[in-house]
Amino acid sequence: PYLPGGSRSDNPYVNFYWDYCAQGKPAYVEIVSITMQQAIDLIRELGGVPVLAHPGNNLRGQPPEMLDEIIALGIAGVEAYSSYHTPEQCLYYQARADAAGILATGGSDFHGKTKPSVKLGRFGLDNNTRYPQQGLEIAAALKTLAGRKEN
């Protein structure tokens, strides 16, 4: 019914969701939320590195102390360089990471066709700046820790 001409083809993705994935439907899965502390602990337990993604977007409207509270929970890094950040925000979060003694990471948040204005490997700084050398060194160290071969 979701293909062109079918009874539910007028808005197939939304109709499919309501028919199968909404609460009480066959594919519904209850969402279970955990605290940030639980997430950080779980990431570490599984061998990961907990990093706060694009804080300039996720912490918008929050006081600067909110980042201090999150750092105190035990994150290992903050995404300073992000396509969501202005150049000033990139430098601000780099300075905050340096002051806290945690990693300053970066990412473009590239998702292909779903975010056409975001370019792979490009983030928050002018003149096509790519990851700082420190970021490349950190990535190499994390690869080694994860037991992956270097290219």
How much is the pLDDT for 122? 65
- The answer to whether residues 47 and 27 belong to one domain is no
- The answer to whether residues 19 and 86 belong to one domain is no
- The answer to whether residues 23 and 3 belong to one domain is yes
Asked if residue 151 belongs to a domain, the reply is no
pLDDT digits (tens, 9 = 90+) for 8-53: 999 999 999 999 999 999 999 999 999 999 999 999 999 889 999 9
- The answer to whether residues 82 and 112 belong to one domain is yes
CATH, residue 132: 3.20.20.140
- The answer to whether residues 44 and 108 belong to one domain is yes
Q: How far is CA 86 from CA 12, 80, 104, in A?
A: 37, 10, 15
Asked if residue 135 belongs to a domain, the reply is yes
State the Cα–Cα distance between residues 82 and 101, nearest whole angstrom: 19
Asked if residue 109 belongs to a domain, the reply is yes
- The answer to whether residues 52 and 20 belong to one domain is no
pLDDT digits (tens, 9 = 90+) for 98-131: 999 999 988 777 777 776 676 776 665 654 444 5
- The answer to whether residues 38 and 108 belong to one domain is yes
- The answer to whether residues 22 and 41 belong to one domain is no
Band (149; pLDDT cuts 50, 70, 90)? very low
- Per the structure, the complete domain to which residue 20 belongs is given by 1-32
DSSP H stretches of helix in 11-151: 12-16, 36-45, 55-58, 65-73, 87-100, 133-145
- The answer to whether residues 40 and 109 belong to one domain is yes
pLDDT digits (tens, 9 = 90+) for 42-96: 999 998 899 999 899 899 999 999 999 999 999 999 999 887 888 888 889 999 9
Asked if residue 91 belongs to a domain, the reply is yes
Domain count, the chain: 2
| Residue pair 104/97 in contact by the 8 Å Cβ criterion | yes
- The answer to whether residues 51 and 72 belong to one domain is yes
DSSP 127-143: TT----HHHHHHHHHHH
Question: Which residue, among 104, 120, 100, has the nearest Cα to 112 in the 3D structure?
Answer: 120
- Laid out side by side, the sheet with 77-82 consists of 51-52, 77-82, 103-107
Could you tell me which residues are beta bridge partners of residue 106?
81
